Amino acid sequence: MPITVNGSSVPLPDDPRVSLLDMLRDRMGLTGTKKGCNQGACGACTVLVDGRRIVSCLALAVQYDGAEVTTIEGLAGAGALHPLQAAFVEHDGFQCGYCTPGQICSAIGMAAEVRRGMPSHVTADLSAATIALDRDELRERMSGNLCRCGAHNGIVDAIMDVYAGAPVPARDAALVGEDAA
Ligand code: FES
Ligand code: FES
């Protein structure tokens, strides 16, 4: 079976050793997804697979036979930035921008995890029906995405702006596999 990347069906690599990250960057030219550590420690390579965030450097492309992958190039819709992309611009959520695609894909997946009620290390009430996305929750849940430029304050502000209390962007229903409200 092929794999679907940003809505387009593409064949899997013949070589089963090719990582999903290398397939995206080197074979498809989707260089928005970045290679930082290449060992699962920095989050720069984060993409959405079937609506869940993964680090693509630790994933073999052939593992995702039949899956739907969304990279930073696939987030915008109808000629407009995803609201989180726009919020990163508004809140100075980047300097060099190297971590930014991973931060944004990770945050979209992270917000969906909160909506599904998945607790984190700092969630006080594990039996709560809903989890509030406050700054402590956000920082803990985004701790796998490092920013060497130290833009974390802007990153947190941008994510809070879009996902803490505001209506979930309509685009996210398709991105994370939720029913549209
Ligand atoms: S490049 Fe994948 S986690 Fe750093
Ligand atoms: S903006 Fe430079 S690493 Fe985050």
179 C-alpha vs ligand 2 centroid, how far in Å? 33
Q: Quick check: CB of 147 below 6 Å from ligand 2?
A: yes
pLDDT band at 1 (very low <50, low <70, confident <90, very high): confident
User: Could you check whether 3-74 and 83-176 share the same CATH topology?
Assistant: no
Question: Could you give the CA distance from residue 23 to residue 30 in angstroms, rounded to a whole number?
Answer: 9
3-74: which CATH number, 3.20.20.70, 3.90.550.10, 3.40.50.150, 3.10.20.30?
3.10.20.30
46: β partners: 55
> What SS3 string covers the chain?
CCEEECCEEECCCCCCCCEHHHHHHHHCCCCCCCCCCCCCCCCCCEEEECCEEEEHHHCEHHHHCCCEEECHHHCCECCECCHHHHHHHHCCCCCCCCCHHHHHHHHHHHHHHHHCCCCCCCCCCCCCCCCCCCHHHHHHHCCCCCCCCCCHHHHHHHHHHHHCCCCCCCHHHHHHCCCCC
pLDDT in tens, 14-71: 999 999 999 999 999 999 999 999 999 999 999 999 999 999 999 999 999 999 999 9
* Structure confidence at residue 178 as a pLDDT band (50, 70, 90): confident
Centre of ligand 2 to C-alpha 59, Å, is: 23
Q: Considering the domain 83-176 in this protein, what is its CATH number?
A: 1.10.150.120
Q: Residue 49: CB within 6 Å of ligand 1?
A: no
The protein residue with its alpha carbon nearest to ligand 2, atom 4, reads 147
- The verdict on the CB of residue 152 being under 6 Å from ligand 2 is no
**For position 79, what pLDDT does the model report?**
83
CB of 104 closer than 6 A to ligand 1? no
Q: How far apart are CA 161 and CA 156, in angstroms?
A: 8
Lowest-confidence segment of 15-24, 32-41, 135-144, 163-172 by average pLDDT: 163-172
How many Cβ atoms from other residues are within 10 Å of residue 27's Cβ? Answer: 13
pLDDT digits (tens, 9 = 90+) for 97-109: 999 999 999 999 9
Q: Is residue 45 in contact with ligand 1, taking CB distance under 6 Å?
A: yes
Residue ranges covered by each domain of the chain: 3-74, 83-176
Q: How confident is the model at residue 77 (pLDDT cuts 50, 70, 90)?
A: confident
